[in-house]
Amino acid sequence: MPDLDAAPRPLTVAGLFAGIGGVELGLKAAGMQTKLLCEWWEPAQAVLEHHFPGVPLHDDIQTLKALPDVDVVTAGFPCTDLSQAGRTAGIHGEASGMVKHLFELLEDASPRWVVIENVRNMLALDRGTAMEYLVSEFERLGYRWAYRLVDSRFTGVPQRRQRVIFVASRTEDPRGVLFADDAGERPESDYREDAFGFYWTEGNTGLGWAQDALPTLKGGSGLGIPSSPAMWIRDAEPGRAIVTPRIEDAEVLQGFPRGWTEPALKRAKPGVRWKLVGNAVTVGVSRWVGRRLLTPGEYDETGQIILPKGMRWPTAAWGTPDERWAAAVSLWPERSSYQHLLDVVDTNEAPPLSLRATAGFHGRLLRSRLRYPQAFSDALKLHAERMAEPAPVA
C-alpha cells in the first residue's frame, strides 16, 4: 500500500547553460533538487562547484550525450547574439546557436517541464526569428509552450531588468505557470526620489534612466572589464553624488547573497565577476517560476487574441502545434516588498564615477536631445569639478 502521509518527492532539475546558478538557486528555494549542471566557462564552474557541492557538473553541452531522468530542464542559453549590447548575430550565431543542442537532447528525453530565459530583444531581433525558431522546435517535438516578458522588479529587487521566461511541456499546461499571476505594474508612488540609476556609457540616444533602481546589469566584456551602471544620489555632496555600485551590491540586485561569485577569483580576474552577475537570471524570478511549476494556477483567457504566424511577437503568448495566441498579462506577475536602491547599495563604500567617465557622459548628454532633470546635469558638472581637484596631501 502507498504511504498516503508521505511527502511528495521534490521535483528534480537539470540545469543547462547554468552560469552561476541563478535559475537553480531559485528553484531550490521553491523546493527542488538539482541533479545535473552543465556550464563551460571556468569562472562560472568555480561558483557552481562551491555552491552546489556534490552535483555533477558537465563542462560542455556539445559533448553531453543524454539528459538524466529529471522533471525540469532549464536552459538560460547565451544571449550574446540576441541582446542589443551583444553582436545581434541572431539565434543561429556562434554563441546563442548553442540552444540547438537543447533540442537534440530533448529528442530522447521526457522532462515534465522545460524552462528557458533570455533577453527581451529576442522578441524583435531579425523580425522575431529567434522566437519563431524556439517555438517551431518545441512544436515539432510535440510541446505546448508559453512565454512571458517580466520585469525583475516584481521580485522586489531595485533593478529594472526585462527578460523573457519561456516554459514548455508535453504533458502539462504552461499557461498555469506563467499566466496565473498578474499584479500589474507597481505604481510610481512606490519608488523613492532620492536615487536614480543610469548608464554612464550612454548619453547619445538613451540614459538607461531608472528611478529608485538601477538599469539592467550587463555582462561587460569577455576580457573581464566591468560594465557597471552608475547612480545619482540626489542629496549627496559633490564627489559622493555620482557613484557606482560594487560587485557585492550587484549580486544583491540579482537576488544572490553578497559574495556569491567570490569563488570565481580562483580562476579569473575580479572584473569577471561583473560578467557572471550580469549574465545571470534574477533569483527571485526563478523562485516564482519554481513555485508555479510545483503548483500551477488558473489562466483567465480574457483578452487573448489569435496570433497568426509572421506577426510581431507580443510580450506574452502561448501555443500548441495547432494554434498560437497572444496573452493579455503584464510584466508584473507579483509585487513583492520593494527594496529601495539606497537600502541595497552601500553608498559609503560605493566608488565615485571617475572624472573621465563623468566628463565623457556629461558631454554626450549636453549634445544630445534627451530629456533629463536639470538638477542631474548640475550634479554631473559638480562631480566632475570635484574629481578634477588635486588629491589632498596627507
The CA dihedral of 275, 278, 284, 285, to the nearest 10 degrees, is -120
Together in a domain, 20 and 121: yes
Together in a domain, 145 and 158: yes
Together in a domain, 85 and 209: no
Whether residue 128 has pLDDT greater than 90: no
Residue 267 covered by a domain: no
Query: What is the number of residues in the chain?
Result: 394
Confidence class for position 76, pLDDT limits 50, 70, 90: confident
Per-residue cell: 7: 511527502
Active site residue 38: no
What would the mean pLDDT of 356-372 be, rounded to a whole number?
Answer: 96
What would the mean pLDDT of 210-235 be, rounded to a whole number?
Answer: 82
Residue 5 covered by a domain: no
pLDDT of residue 219: 74
Together in a domain, 92 and 231: no
What would the mean pLDDT of 165-188 be, rounded to a whole number?
Answer: 97
Together in a domain, 288 and 369: no
**Rounded to whole angstroms, what are the CA distances from 307 to 116, 136, 178, 316?**
21, 14, 18, 11
Together in a domain, 34 and 113: yes
**DSSP secondary structure, 31-42, as one string:** T-EEEEEE---H
Residue 142 covered by a domain: yes
Other CB atoms within 10 A of residue 237 CB: 10
DSSP state of 220: -
Quote the mean pLDDT of the chain: 91
pLDDT of residue 390: 85
Residue 89 covered by a domain: yes
pLDDT of residue 86: 47
User: pLDDT for 46-64, tens place per residue?
Assistant: 999 999 999 999 999 999 9
Residue 178 covered by a domain: yes
User: pLDDT for 22-41, tens place per residue?
Assistant: 999 999 999 999 999 999 99
| Cα of 172 vs its chain's centroid, Å | 25
Residue 2 covered by a domain: no
Question: At 211, which helix (H) or strand (E)?
Answer: strand 210-211
Instruction: Assign residue 62 the CATH number of its domain.
Output: 3.40.50.150
What would the mean pLDDT of 102-118 be, rounded to a whole number?
Answer: 95
Note down the domain range covering 359.
188-248+338-388
Q: What pTM does this model have? A: 0.92
Alpha-carbon span 95 to 81, nearest angstrom: 6
pLDDT of residue 223: 47
β-bridge partners, 30: none
What would the mean pLDDT of 80-95 be, rounded to a whole number?
Answer: 48
Together in a domain, 321 and 354: no
**DSSP secondary structure, 37-97, as one string:** EE---HHHHHHHHHHSTTS-EES-GGG-----S-SEEEE----TTTSTTS----TTSTTGG
Together in a domain, 135 and 238: no
252 backbone dihedrals φ, ψ, rounded to 5°: -65, -40
pLDDT of residue 321: 93
Whether residue 12 has pLDDT greater than 80: yes
Together in a domain, 236 and 143: no
Together in a domain, 34 and 79: yes
pLDDT of residue 7: 55
Residue 269 covered by a domain: no
Together in a domain, 216 and 227: yes
pLDDT of residue 226: 62
Share of the chain above pLDDT 90, in %: 81
Together in a domain, 109 and 164: yes
pLDDT of residue 221: 46
Whether residue 84 has pLDDT greater than 80: no
Which residue is catalytic, options 23, 67, 79, 365? Answer: 79
Alpha-carbon span 66 to 88, nearest angstrom: 30
Query: Strands across the sheet with 210-211, in order?
Result: 210-211, 195-198, 230-233, 242-243
**DSSP secondary structure, 280-322, as one string:** SPPHHHHHHHHHHHHS------TT-EE--TTSPP-SEEEE-SS
Buried b (16+ CB within 10 A) or exposed e, 370-390: eeeeeebeebbebbbebbeee
- Per the structure, the count of domains in the chain is 2
Residue 268 covered by a domain: no
Read off the amino acid at residue 163.
R
